[in-house]
């Protein structure tokens, strides 16, 4: 589970000269993260499994952690199994250890973890609840034998505030969970006699091939979002800001329709992502906005800020770019972007895009974007003016570090 502080908020606290992030729902990414692959596959469970879910064969490609869309089968799930889960009462869903075994026992011998921050997501129907969660082997922690497990009650209606619960725990050898490195991109996890190999996505960090970088632009990293979208994170060296561009090299896991009576603005039917097609730069599609409802609900479509390429932190050097964009953060975050002193366990959120409730809001944002001197700068700053307020010394939070936040 990941906790993040949008850079805009940290900037306001210490009067940094450059505002990177922008306001999202609250001060940090809700915990635990709920994004899940709705078509999660499950192999036959051992007889000791606490309950049974729909049994399906998982196809692990021969190249394992490499994406090859043409090699996969049709995704299929049934309402029947979800409804049966709502009526089931096999265990106390508030018991983290029991829930971990309930989920882990259903996994096949090998799985592929596509999201680039190494979350393996699941959705579970149990005892009247729909639970979303993840098993994570975080970079920098899995080498120490640590595994994060987190889940929470899914918020079906983003506008309705209700009593929801979440649970999380960092499992180690002391809990009987053994984590063994097989190679840089594969780890074996053993618990109660069952072993599962987690294959992480091999995401070569080479520059975009379908468009050229503009003047003063540099390539930072490729990422794979839990929504299924792939993105490029780019950086403007002259004005010191990040922005996100859609990676279309392997296709797009959505249908993009023209939006707002425009010939260069697109909206995803499935995701709701809004893109601007920049014809001056080979028609690349820049992420403009995401739905605020998704941000508040913390679902698949809250944007790519929470799936950085952690497995390639040494190559991408994201912390150096954060320091360039905001010199006051130089040396204050680790190589993954986690704060070292100010609220340790929190991570910088590179949410360089707008978020909207209604079409009218994003259409007005786009109108202002078009009228700006630098549309990319406007998008990255979410239209916010530079911060010129007083210097405020941050006070570290007294709250304990979340157990599954690396």
Number of folded domains that form the chain: 2
**Residues 172, 273 within the same domain:** no
**Residues 25, 81 within the same domain:** no
Phi and psi, residue 278, nearest 5°? -90, 100
Is residue 59 one of the residues assigned to a domain?
no
Q: How are beta strands 265-268 and 217-224 bridged, if at all?
A: unpaired
**Residues 342, 213 within the same domain:** yes
DSSP secondary structure letter of residue 333? B
Is residue 246 one of the residues assigned to a domain?
yes
CA distances to 10, 21, 59 from 16, in Å: 8, 12, 48
106-119: pLDDT as tens digits? 999 999 999 999 99
Is residue 309 one of the residues assigned to a domain?
yes
The pLDDT of residue 12: 40
Is the per-residue pLDDT at 257 higher than 80?
yes
Please compute the mean of the pLDDT values over residues 20-28 and round it to a whole number.
34
Distance separating alpha carbons of residues 44 and 343, to the nearest angstrom: 42
Is residue 108 one of the residues assigned to a domain?
yes
The pLDDT of residue 391: 44
**Residues 227, 259 within the same domain:** yes
Q: Which of 355, 348, 253 is nearest to 294 (CA)?
A: 355
Is residue 332 one of the residues assigned to a domain?
yes
Q: Which of 2, 27, 29, 32 is nearest to 13 (CA)?
A: 27
Local confidence band at 85 (pLDDT 50, 70, 90 cut-offs): very high
**Residues 131, 258 within the same domain:** no
Is residue 53 one of the residues assigned to a domain?
no
| Model pTM score | 0.81
**Residues 288, 187 within the same domain:** no
User: Among residues 160, 181, 200, which one ends one of the domains?
Assistant: 200
Boundaries of domain holding 237: 3-31+204-380
Q: Both tokens of residue 296?
A: 């508040």
Share of the chain above pLDDT 70, in %: 76
Distance separating alpha carbons of residues 164 and 199, to the nearest angstrom: 32
Q: Which of 294, 198, 228 is nearest to 75 (CA)?
A: 228
Please compute the mean of the pLDDT values over residues 79-102 and round it to a whole number.
93
**389 or 101, greater pLDDT:** 101
**Residues 219, 142 within the same domain:** no
SS3 329: helix
**Residues 240, 370 within the same domain:** yes
- Range from 40-49, 131-140, 155-164 carrying the lowest mean pLDDT: 40-49
Q: Both tokens of residue 27?
A: 């001060």
Element (H, E) at 314: helix 313-316
**Residues 75, 90 within the same domain:** yes
What average pLDDT is seen over the chain?
82
Is residue 343 one of the residues assigned to a domain?
yes
**301 or 18, greater pLDDT:** 301
Distance separating alpha carbons of residues 225 and 35, to the nearest angstrom: 10
**Residues 175, 242 within the same domain:** no
SS3 351: coil
Please compute the mean of the pLDDT values over residues 186-193 and round it to a whole number.
98
Is residue 48 one of the residues assigned to a domain?
no
**Residues 192, 208 within the same domain:** no
User: Among residues 177, 200, 223, which one ends one of the domains?
Assistant: 200
Task: Compute the C-alpha angle 242/243/249, nearest 5°.
Answer: 130
> What is the DSSP code string of 33-98?
-----TT---PPPPTT-SS----------TTSSS--GGG-PPP---HHHHHHHHH--SS-TT-HHH
User: Among residues 183, 200, 217, which one ends one of the domains?
Assistant: 200
**Residues 335, 301 within the same domain:** yes
333 CB-side CA count, 13 A: 27
């Amino acid at each position: 589970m990941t906790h993040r502080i949008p850079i805009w908020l940290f900037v306001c606290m210490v009067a940094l000269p450059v505002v990177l992030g922008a306001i999202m729902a609250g001060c940090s990414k809700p915990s635990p993260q709920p994004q899940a692959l709705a078509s999660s596959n499950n192999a036959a469970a051992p007889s000791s499994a606490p309950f049974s879910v729909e049994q399906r064969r998982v196809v692990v490609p021969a190249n394992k952690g490499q994406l090859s869309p043409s090699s996969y089968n049709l995704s299929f799930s049934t309402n029947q199994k979800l409804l049966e889960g709502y009526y089931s009462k096999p265990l106390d869903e508030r018991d983290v250890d029991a829930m971990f075994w309930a989920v882990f026992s259903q996994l096949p011998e090998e799985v592929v973890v596509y999201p680039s921050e190494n979350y393996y997501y699941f959705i579970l129907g149990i005892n009247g609840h729909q639970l979303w969660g993840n098993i994570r082997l975080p970079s920098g922690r899995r080498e120490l034998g640590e595994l994060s497990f987190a889940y929470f009650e899914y918020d079906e209606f983003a506008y309705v505030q209700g009593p929801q619960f979440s649970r999380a725990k960092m499992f180690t050898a002391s809990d009987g969970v053994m984590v063994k490195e097989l190679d840089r991109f594969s780890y074996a996890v053993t618990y109660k006699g069952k072993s599962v190999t987690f294959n992480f996505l091999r995401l070569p960090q080479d520059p975009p091939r379908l468009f050229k970088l503009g003047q003063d632009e540099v390539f930072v990293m490729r990422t794979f979002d839990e929504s299924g979208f792939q993105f490029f994170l780019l950086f403007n060296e002259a004005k010191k800001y990040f922005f996100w561009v859609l990676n279309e090299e392997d296709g797009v896991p959505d249908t993009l329709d023209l939006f707002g009576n425009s010939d260069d603005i697109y909206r995803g039917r499935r995701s709701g992502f809004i893109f601007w097609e920049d014809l001056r730069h080979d028609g690349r599609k820049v992420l403009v906005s995401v739905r605020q409802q998704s941000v508040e609900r913390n679902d698949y479509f809250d944007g790519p800020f929470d799936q950085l390429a952690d497995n390639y932190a040494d190559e991408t050097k994201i912390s150096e770019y954060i320091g360039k964009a905001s010199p006051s953060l130089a040396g204050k975050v680790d190589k993954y972007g986690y704060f070292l002193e100010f609220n340790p366990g929190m991570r910088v959120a590179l949410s360089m895009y707008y978020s909207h409730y209604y079409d009218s809001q994003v259409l007005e944002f786009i109108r202002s974007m078009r009228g700006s001197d630098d549309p990319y700068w406007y998008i990255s700053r979410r239209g916010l003016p530079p911060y010129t307020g007083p210097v405020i010394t941050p006070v570290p939070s007294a709250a304990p570090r979340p157990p599954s936040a690396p």
